[in-house]
Structure formats: structure tokens, C-alpha cells
Amino acid sequence: MIPQPSHVFLRHVTLQTTFKGIEHPISTSDTPILQFRGIKYASVPARFRQSKLCTTYPPVVDSTRYGPICPQRGQRTVEEELLGLPEADLPRQCFLQDEFECLNLNITCPAHQNSESRLPVMVWIHGGGNGGCGSSWMYDGGSLVRRSMCIGKPIIMITIKLGYFGFAASPSIAEDNRLAGDEGVGNYGPYCSCSPSSPPQTYSPTGLRDQRTALEWVHEFISEFGGDPENVTLFGSSTGAADIVHHLYSSANKRHPLFARAIIQSAIVNHNVPSVHAAGWQISRALSPYRASTVEQLRAIRSDTLADIPCPVRAVDDGVFFQNGWREAMFPPAEADEIERIPQDRNLTALRFGVRKLKSRSPHPNSRVQQSPTSGLQPLIIGDCACDSDLWSSSTSDWAASGVVRRLRAICQSLNKATALLNAYDIAPHMTDQLSERVLELIEDARISWPTECVYQAAQRAGQPVWRYVFDQEGPARGVPHHTADLIYLFDNVPLPLSPTSSPLSFAADDLPSLPSSEASSMGNPVTPSDIGALNEDRFDYCSRGLPFGGWARPIVDEWSYTRVRDAIQTRWIAFAWGERPWDNSRGKVFVFGPEGETGERSAGIFEGRRRRKLWEKVLRPLGIELVQKVGTELSNGPGLGSR
């Protein structure tokens, strides 16, 4: 590499080209960091066709600018909306949009590396319904790479750009793909439609095959940037994390894995992945105003028009991409014979509350991760944020209690099932106060927390090493551990409204402040299927979104708390990428991030206080993941007209 004032050049022998990159803006003489932007990893031969690995480049590739993104609306991303910062405080970016040139990646790496360096590689898959793009300022890898260099464990970070309409599948599209020599259909695509003001069920689909193609590029060509193609860690959040789950259970991963381990953060995993025919019906319904029924007519629609069409998030089970029996391996079946035994009294609400007593921290282990002989899943880090369902707070705010009760009864088609859910989450027909909080708790468990636990337990059953964490640290701007709050600390790129640095409090482990948990008593008469009475609402909120936090004044994220959590998550993610044990996971131990700057290993009993695991086992598991997720999705969509 020959550095110039602001540019660097990397000669790639295998590709017979020279990549012209830049010195990263935070690069210093002590921690020199390079960045290569907008490298095209695949070409798109036609709309709704599978992407092709890019292996031919001109003699010199200008990698000083970000590449085009998929066509999308010019609005703030979901992540930017959730940050709670004024738009004027956020960096503004402007990207070209091109549906056929949008599959590109960005590489951030330490300087002075070569094919002998073999540094661990971390590949980021963004969320936001796969809206936005991997070139967003939020995901810039500079801070994470700098941290890795400072602790003596340098990494290479890659962000990839994805597409929209990736679920696009129908018998006619499948036949078109077959004639083009492609196997399978769907899970690809060059569009991106994401409106933060719209409910998340309208976010764009995945593009799983494009992601697999990007991993193929990394496997083939990353070594001359200094990376180890056999030591790739896939990490992502939200729908990006769900994509990683799908890759874990893909047929290609079983045959030829392209990553060594994965980190799954607040995954929105859907059990109900549609078939080709079901996806075709969804396309026909979405595009009915345009009278497009053939593949040729679909391809004739303007890309900006497609970007404005709300389409449901779905991977496609085309009989090719996923392993046989992947749902059964990941999710427990409904226990039909247990339904009648679900408690119908209000003691279920005792599983929602309590005061956490946090115990001592364990030392950080330095032993390395041992690969399990069991084939299938790779080693995992997996967890969620305490208030992930805040993502749906806008669409759920219009629910009335009576509407929630009616909707649950309609979905469950059983008074016993509906009553069990209503009792468990303390929802009654005539309540007004705290209704939104209760509904969001149910959505949280149905769409993120319990599915996360299912993936965790499936990895354990497969015999793979798995580490569980909970992220309860407040987002600096909003004062709650909202969806994507962990990304603020992980990437360290968000302009922060921090309070002045204060000295850390010296408190004993058992006196650490914490969120309330699920071990308090409940009062009042039982609710029966025939007479759902009002439930007592005078209790401690699990997560007051935008209100005083947990009954206390809203905590202030000072510089000490921010730095402590940032360093903890960055260090452990990097250690995992290096093949080390990120923390001691023996006897069910978990790692906690927050609240109020707390970090460390905690016992399995502490996890019971941080999440509603007992409720999941007693109520949700007997109902089954299909019904529970349907309830969560319906509630997160909001009441609709006439259903409030």
C-alpha cells in the first residue's frame, strides 16, 4: 500500500486490479485506518433475478466514494427515528440510487496489512427492515476497528448493501429463474422501501441470496486486504439479525459455511415464512393497482414506483434456501394437550414484576472457543434490548383495551388461550392507564424476546457454544433501552447529548440499580373466560417509554456510563471475532449491559429477573410460536379503523 495525502492504493493480485481508497477520518499515526468504499461485489442481470458474483474489475477501482444504494424514499431511516435526536443534529448523506448497481460493500481495515496478516473479519448486516443501507454513518466501522487496534486484536469490518423486493417470488418468477439457470426463487432483490412513519410490517424483505453472494466475495477476495476468509463473524441487528438466523438454517450453510460464528442482536424472526405461492399472492395484492400480472409487466414498473409500495417483510421458503425441518429445529411446537392446563388466574402476572438483586461479576475468561463436533449452527452471541417493542409504540398507541381483548379472542379462537394471554400481561377490557405498556410487553415477548430465547435454546440443543446477553442500558437521548440502543454504543458514531462526566458510584454488587423484574405478587380476583374483569393497574412499570424510568427519575447517561458500556460491548464482540470466549457462560450465566453503566457477568437467576422467561414457559410455549407471533404481529400493526 502506498499512502498519499488522503488516498491509499491496494494492489489486488487475484483480481488484477488496484483499489483506490482513503485514510479513514479518525485515522492517526498510532492507529492508521483505511477505508475502501463502494466495492461492487455482485451484478444484477435483471429485476427478480439472482445476483452474480463480481470477479472482473477495471485496472483501477475508485473506492473513495460510497456506491449507489437501492431505490428508496428519501426519509430518515428507522434507526435515526429511534435515536430520538433532532434531525439537525444528525449527519446527512446523499447517495445515488440504482437498482442494478446497488450491491456493493465497504471495507474498513488497519493499514499495512497483506495476505499474510489473516485478521478476523466482521461482516455487518444492517436492520431497519433492510431499509437504509450499509453505508449509513451509523454503521461506519472506524471506531470499532480503532478499538480493536488499541486492545491489540485488530479486525477488518465490512458493511454490505442490500436490496428491496427480495421476497419477490411466484410460480411465474420461479419459472423465469429456472429458464435463466437459477435454482430457487425469492430472497434476493434490488430495491429498498422503508418509511419510518409506517408500521414495521411494511418494511422491505431480506435479500438473503445477495448476502450469501457478498459472503462468497469476502471468502474469495478479502485475504489481500489482510483478512482471514476462514475467520468471518457475521453480526447484525433487527431484521438484519433475523437474516443471520435464516443463514444459520440455510441449506448452503450446512453444505459450505462461509462464516465461523455469528452475533444476533434483537432479531425480528418470523416463524411464518411464506411459500412461493403465498409470496406470489402477496405480490399480486401489492401490485394490483398497477395491473402487473406477468414477469415482463413487473419489470416494466418504474423502480421509484416500486420503492413506494408497502410490501410485507418475508423471506421465502422456496424449498431450496432453507434446510428441511428448520422451523421445527428452531421453534418449539404448540403443546395442545397443555392448553387446558394454562393457569387462568391472575397469579400469572406475578411473573412480570419484582426487584432485581444483582450478584458479583465474574472474571473475563481468556480461553478460546472450541468448535462443537455437531454439524449445523455456528457459535453464537445472542440477546435483545429491554424495550425493543418501542419500535411499534406509534402504531400501538391507538389501541383501546376492549379492542385488544376482542382482537386476541378473534386470533386465538379460544377463550382459554385468549384469557391466559390477557391475564399474563394484566390486560382488562376497561383499563386505560398503562394499557400501551402492557400491549408493548406482549409484543416484545411475542416478536423479539421469546423468539430470541427459542434461537438460543435451539443452539444449545445443537451442541454449539452460545452466549446470552441482555442490553438494558439507556439510549443517551431518550433515556430508555430502546430498539437499536445497543448500536449507539457498539459503533460509537452517534452525536450524543451526554451529561457532564460524573464519578462512578461505588456500590456493592447486591446494591446495583436495576430494572424491575418478574418476581412480585399480583392482587385482585381471577379473570375468567366468561367475565374478564378490570385488572389492578397500580404496579411498577417494566419499562416506561418516555416517562420516568421504572418509577425513578429518568436516568442521565453520563460520559462514564457511556464509555463503560461502549468499551464492554466493543471489547467482547471483538474478542468473539478472535475466537475467544466473550464471557463465562457456564451454568447459564449471561452478560448484562446496563442500566446506568452496569456491565458484567450475572447468574442465570439474574436473567430471570431481566426477562419474563417463566411467563414464556408457562404461557407462550403451550400456545406455540405460530399463534404467539400472529398475536404479536396483529397488535403491532395497530387497531385499524373501527377496531379501537
Confidence tier at 233 by pLDDT (50, 70, 90): very high
Residue 64 has pLDDT above 50, yes or no: yes
- Of the candidates 558, 458, 491, 559, the one whose C-alpha atom is nearest the C-alpha of residue 122 is 491
What is the overall mean pLDDT for the chain?
Answer: 78
pLDDT in tens, 601-642: 999 999 988 999 999 999 999 999 999 999 999 999 998 755
pLDDT band at 184, cuts 50/70/90? very low
Residue 74 clears pLDDT 90, i.e. is over it: no
Give yes or no for residue 385 having a pLDDT over 70: yes
Lowest-confidence range among 154-163, 238-247, 471-480? Answer: 154-163
Residues belonging to the chain: 644
Task: Give the model's pLDDT for residue 545.
Answer: 40
Residue 369 has pLDDT above 70, yes or no: no
Each residue of 602-613: b (16+ CB within 10 Å) or e?
bbeebbbbbbbb
**Measured torsion, CA atoms of residues 437, 441, 443, 445, in degrees rounded to the nearest 10:** 170
pLDDT in tens, 409-464: 999 999 999 999 999 999 998 888 889 999 999 999 999 999 999 999 999 999 99
Higher-scoring residue by pLDDT: 266, 342: 266
Q: What is the pLDDT of residues 534-559, one digit of tens each?
A: 333 333 233 444 433 344 444 468 89
Which residue, among 571, 601, 573, 581, has the nearest Cα to 589 in the 3D structure?
601
The pLDDT value recorded for residue 343 is: 58
Contacts of 351 (CB under 8 A, 6+ apart): 424, 518, 519, 612, 614, 615, 618
Q: How far are the Cα atoms of 12, 161, 517, 554 from residue 565, in angstroms, in the given order?
A: 38, 28, 21, 18
Instruction: Tell me how far the alpha carbon of residue 244 is from its chain's centroid.
Output: 9
Q: For the chain, what percent of residues have pLDDT higher than 90?
A: 50
The three three-digit cell numbers of residue 100, written as one number: 442494478
Across the range 253-264, mean pLDDT stands at 96
* Average pLDDT rounded to a whole number, residues 36-50: 85
User: In this structure, how many other beta carbons lie within 10 angstroms of the beta carbon of residue 292?
Assistant: 18
Mean pLDDT of 550-569: 78
Using DSSP's 3-state secondary structure scheme, residue 62 falls into strand
Residue 361 reports pLDDT greater than 70: no
So what's the pLDDT on residue 551? 41
| pTM of structure | 0.81
Question: Average pLDDT, stretch 396-412?
Answer: 94
150 CB neighbour count, 10 Å cutoff: 14
State the Cα–Cα distance between residues 599 and 72, nearest whole angstrom. 38
Q: Round to whole Å and give the CA distance between 54 and 51.
A: 9
Instruction: pLDDT band for 228, please (50, 70, 90 cuts).
Output: very high
Residue 78 CA: distances (Å) to CA of 75, 82, 203, 230, 578: 9, 6, 10, 33, 31
Q: How far is CA 526 from CA 343, 426, 427, 521, 615, in A?
A: 10, 11, 12, 13, 17
Residue 618: per-residue pLDDT: 93
Q: What angle do CA 466, 472, 473 make, to 5 degrees?
A: 120
State the pLDDT confidence band at 72, using cuts at 50, 70 and 90.
Answer: low
Cα separation values, 601 from 28, 79, 205, 470, 489, Å: 34, 28, 35, 10, 18
Highest mean pLDDT among 95-109, 144-158, 162-176: 144-158
